[in-house]
Structure 1
Amino acid sequence: MSGNRHVLAYTPNEQRGFSLIELMVAMVIGLVVLSAVTGIFLSSQRTYRTTEGLGRVQESMQFGFELMARDLREAGGNPCDVNLPIANVADQAGANWWTNWAQPLRGFDNGALAGSAAATDAVQLLLMGEEVVNVVSHVGTVFSVDDTVDFEANDVLMACDMRQLAVFRAGGVDEGANTISHSHTGNCSDILNVLPAPCDGTAPAYLYAQNSVISGLRGVRWFVADNANGGRSLFRAVNGGAREEMVEGVQNMQVQYLQGSDSGSYVDAGGVTNWQLVSSLRIVLTAQSSDAVGTDDSQLVRRLEHVVNLRNRTP
């Protein structure tokens, strides 16, 4: 018997891998994509750091300027009237600039203020303190007041009504009795009378009536100086005390002054002929970031310019 023999042929599926050239091309494409993604990430990170650093610099400068501008606006002010005659019996020898109410504003050019950095300007001003109390009675050298708040012996204070203003050093302050004495060895006189002169002793004693006002007096200096970190900062000093660091990174401050409201030109401090006529200031602060966060890995430098009007001298 003859039969046909059938042969079953098994052909496995052909399996084929990447060739070396295809693998190399894929790797190159992957590297290009990875490089592009890495570049975008680094660029975004650098942009974020730059934006964040710029924001910190501008925020710090704005904060410092607002504090300084608040002091400047109030220079020469008192609780009663800015045009009052003044009986200044405190430190008549002129040992302390912060009691010289006759000059509530003064500027310094190019490091002329002791302790300020070279080639930077500074501002010195006198203004009313934050504490204000009302007079209940004034007998002899003792004021009875509605509250002594934070006043202490030896503080420089101002008493005023609508007729005159007196600057004096406080003697004893009794919180329990709510009294403030103006009998103090640092005063040239206990007679708080403008006429004929506050310290010649010939005028009758001036007694302030009920509802007269007593406030503190602050002498404030704003300046740029070297800080403890090897850079520069904007500093503030009150009544000859230790300096306070207000804004780190401020490299320079330049200030110009306008005399009178009708004058159109600002001048440096050396060009001011009468400080009593200065009505506004133009201030330029230059700050530098502490870190190299610029797009070219450099420190950011920014300038902030503002004009501040003195409220007590602006019509």
Structure 2
Amino acid sequence: MTSAKHTQESLGGRASRHQTGLSLIEFMVALLIGAFLVLGVVTVFLANKDSARLENSLARLQENGRFALDLMREDLHQAQYLGCNTGDVFVINMIEDPNSAGFSATLEGIRAYERNGTGTWAANPPVADLSATVQAAETAGGARNGSDVLSIRMTELMNEDDPNDPLLTGLVLPTSTNVPIDDNPDCAIEEGSRVVITGCNLTAHLFEVTNAQSCTAGTPPNATTLEFDNTGNFSTSINTTYDAESQVLLYEEAVWYVADTGRDRNGFDVWALYREVNGTTQEMIEGVEHMQVKIGQRVSLSDSIRYVDPSDATLNTGNNYEGAISVRVALLMQGFDLIRDGDDARVYVLIDEQVPGIGGTAVGQGGLHASGAVQRDVFSTNVTLRNAPEF
């Protein structure tokens, strides 16, 4: 018994002597493994964070680019809409003096203008019909050097639910001095508004409303007369007859261009796409650095289309601009998050114009982009003009 007890005590003592914990070497090895694991977790976290920032930046860039082109498409699809006789009507422009620069007797649905990197406008088409804001030099509010300008002429229905509203309340004769209508939907027509009267025949008339309008929004109908005296019109004679089946449409000229917002973000000037309608300017999408436009013109006696610069000599000869049947638009979009490893030195191609980074050499009319550690991409579209005249 004594021997067995002694043996158990010896074993118990030996077991307790072996439960002394980790040695210094074992502890350091464990610490090193833990450090590697923590480093791996941190590395994965930072990589995921950078990836998320990159994906968010790309998503915003793509969303802005698509949205900008969608907005422009809406206007381009409305270009030269003239009601029931769209495509087969000759518009008599009562507003502009035929002897003035930029006069367009045929009222083309679109025009585009080139501005090179040094701030010089191309000679054709004449820029006299663009507002002073758009023509301004490369300052906040002015069209950017090296970026094109697109002008879209269109009309719109004043009552989407009833395309014939407003209706004439009497005949409009060659001797008439006003156009009497039964309503002014949503009080859209004001003194100074430009309207088109069209009667589904071969002609339509564009004139500026020169009398004050008394209208109460939300309480139709608002019957009124639309006068067109020489305070806003070069001609005051409507040389045809319009009956009760005629339409009165609100005329708009929407000018799209790139300009400086005057804001800065992460050290970058914020450029944006602007839309100016009848002298009222609105910022549409920020982050648009450059815009290039090509006009698609049907080749005479052919089904083919030639895409040319807005200043093309043939396009600007006679009434050829009226024969434009499609438009290509390319936008250079810029993000503002600093997500690149280095400065963006890439050369971007907008249709056929090269836009290198600052410090590079501009080729053609495209100008330069601001470089920097931000993301950029080119977005483009080709839009067929639905209301282009048939030839």
- TM score, norm. by length of structure 1: 0.85
Match of 2:309 among 262, 265, 268: 268
The aligned residue for residue 72 of structure 1 is 76
Of 217, 222, 225, 2:251 maps to 217
Q: Distance in 1 between matches of 2:59 and 2:329?
A: 20
Distance 1:99 1:276 in 2: 10
Structure 2: distance between partners of 1:29 and 1:92: 85
More off after superposition, 164-173 vs 36-45: 164-173
Q: Does 1:307 align with 2:341?
A: no
Is 1:170 equivalent to 2:193 in the alignment?
no
Match of 1:180 in 2: 225
Alignment partners' CA distance in 1, 2:270 and 2:324: 32
1:39 maps to 43
Q: Which amino acid aligns with 1:165?
A: A
Kindly indicate whether the alpha-carbon contact (under 8 Å) linking 1:136 and 1:211 is maintained by their aligned counterparts in 2. no
Gaps of 5+ in 2: 122-133, 136-141, 160-165, 216-220, 264-268, 344-372
Mapped partners of 1:35, 1:296: distance in 2: 25
Distance 1:5 1:67, change over 3 A: closer
Q: Segments of 4+ in structure 1 off by > 4 A?
A: 4-12, 93-101, 294-297
SS of the residue 1:304 aligns to: strand
Equivalents in 2 of 1:207, 1:314: separation in Å? 23
| Structure 1, unpaired ranges of 5+ | 194-205
Query: Which residue number corresponds to residue 366 of structure 2?
Result: none
Give the aligned partner of residue 134 of structure 1. Answer: 167
Contact 1:47 1:295 in 2 (8 A): no
Is 1:226 aligned to 2:260, yes or no?
Answer: yes
- Look up the equivalent residue of 2:257 and give its one-letter code: F
Task: Assess if the C-alpha contact under 8 Å between 2:183 and 2:222 holds in 1.
Answer: no
Deviation at 1:285, TM superposition (A): 0.9
Q: Is the 8 A contact 1:236 1:245 kept in 2?
A: yes
SS at match of 1:313: coil
| Corresponding residue for residue 251 of structure 1 | 289
- Correspondence 1:53 to 2:54: no
Q: 1:152 aligns with which of 182, 187, 190?
A: 190
Deviation digits for residues 220-246 of structure 1 (CA, Å, limit 9, x no counterpart)? 1111111221221111111133x3111
Aligned partner letter, 1:280 = S
| Matched-pair contact (CA < 8 Å) for 1:253–1:283 | yes
C-alpha distance in 2, partners of 1:240/1:177?
26
1:122: which partner in 2?
A: 149
Shift of 1:174: 4.0
Q: How far apart are the structure 2 equivalents of 1:5 and 1:191?
A: 136
1:20 aligns with 2:15: no
1:200 matched to which residue of 2?
Answer: none
Q: Distance in 2 between matches of 1:100 and 1:125?
A: 16
- Indicate if the aligned counterparts of 2:144 and 2:260 stay in contact, CA closer than 8 A: yes
Bigger shift: residues 232-241 or 93-102: 93-102
- For residue 128 of structure 1, give the secondary structure of its aligned residue in structure 2: strand
How many residue pairs are counted as aligned between the two chains?
A: 299
Cα distance in 2 for residues equivalent to 1:74 and 1:178? 27
